[in-house]
Amino acid sequence: MRDWVTAYIGLGANLGNPAHALHSAVQALAANPGIAQCRASSLYSSAPIDSSGPDYTNAVLKLQTRLSAPDLLVCLQTIELQAGRLRPYRNAPRTLDLDLLLYGDGQVHSPSLVVPHPRMWERAFVLVPLAEVGAPCVDAHMLARVASQPIRRLPP
């Protein structure tokens, strides 16, 4: 059996009830027998990257998994589809977006998956909650580089 690997998942939504969608996604992931020890960050609000649509609600989930990175991606995409995720165009508003940010110390470069997530280092809505759940790869210098991006922690 595969050893447990620490993975970090970025969660986001800006259609419907985003907070409920994120909480439901965390519950769905925690119910998977190949996933354990889920720890979610606080919820944060941020503007869409392309300035269209409502603000996003974002979080990061730290978990332990025995799933391979490709199998974890399939799990994430299944949860997105169950939440009504459509992909009409790049950066379209969405009911749920789940991104595999980090998978242990591993690197994956395939047509369907790139880990570490290639743009995570540029985004406050990823780095701030990622730091909150204790990702050792996020330091004060990285947070300072995205400090000008507006992000607001939502009340519990």
Catalytic residues: 85, 94, 97, 99
> How far is the C-alpha of 94 from the C-alpha of 50, rounded, in Å?
13
- 71-82 as b/e: b if 16+ CB within 10 A: ebbebbeebbee
- 114-143 as b/e: b if 16+ CB within 10 A: ebbbeebeebbbbbbbbbbbebeebeeebe
> How far is the C-alpha of 142 from the C-alpha of 78, rounded, in Å?
32
What residue type is assigned to position 40 of the chain? A
H helices present in 2-137, as ranges: 18-30, 69-82, 124-132
Residue 137 vs residues 38, 41, 101, 121, 132: alpha-carbon distances, Å: 18, 16, 11, 10, 12
